[in-house]
């Protein structure tokens, strides 16, 4: 089992467990830093930032994007890229798993006025930022 696959499985597992826990346990908002940061149960019918398509189209678009990421991940050589692709794949898979029963994704992290998000969204975001960092900073140093 390659490192990309292992990271994808781990990040998807943690993300799905967190979503199930939020669905079951988060009955009201829990304040962490007043009204600015908290845990707040929300169901998201959209793909990202509330953008909506038909549920089957959403799952199809996400699946195609994940296949493209998986294809690109095959050629990775560096640790940063492997971790990044694993996080992106795991987060995307977790959001698909969460969406399958009812067409909705469970979100629960609330920060300021930013849309409520979840662990899977965070994995995807961190993975993309790691790829940008690798592409813009690390590779430039090698030139």
Catalytic center residues: 107, 121
Residue corresponding to tokens 């509330």: 50
Cβ count within 10 A of residue 39: 16
Q: Which residues lie closer than 8 Å to 42 by C-beta, 6 or more apart?
A: 106, 107, 108, 110, 116
Using DSSP's 3-state secondary structure scheme, residue 105 falls into strand
Beta strands in 25-93 (DSSP E): 30-33, 37-44
């Amino acid at each position: 089992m390659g490192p990309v696959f292992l990271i994808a499985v781990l990040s998807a597992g943690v993300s799905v467990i967190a979503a199930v826990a939020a669905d079951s346990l988060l009955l009201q908002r829990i304040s962490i830093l007043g009204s600015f940061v908290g845990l707040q149960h929300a169901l998201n019918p959209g793909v990202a930032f509330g953008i909506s398509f038909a549920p089957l189209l959403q799952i199809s678009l996400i699946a195609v994007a994940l296949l493209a990421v998986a294809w690109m991940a095959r050629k990775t050589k560096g640790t940063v890229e492997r971790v990044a692709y694993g996080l992106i794949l795991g987060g995307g898979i977790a959001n698909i798993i969460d969406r399958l029963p009812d067409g909705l994704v469970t979100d629960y992290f609330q920060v300021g006025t930013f849309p409520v998000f979840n662990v899977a969204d965070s994995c995807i975001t961190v993975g993309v930022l790691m790829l940008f960092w690798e592409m813009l900073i690390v590779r430039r140093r090698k030139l």
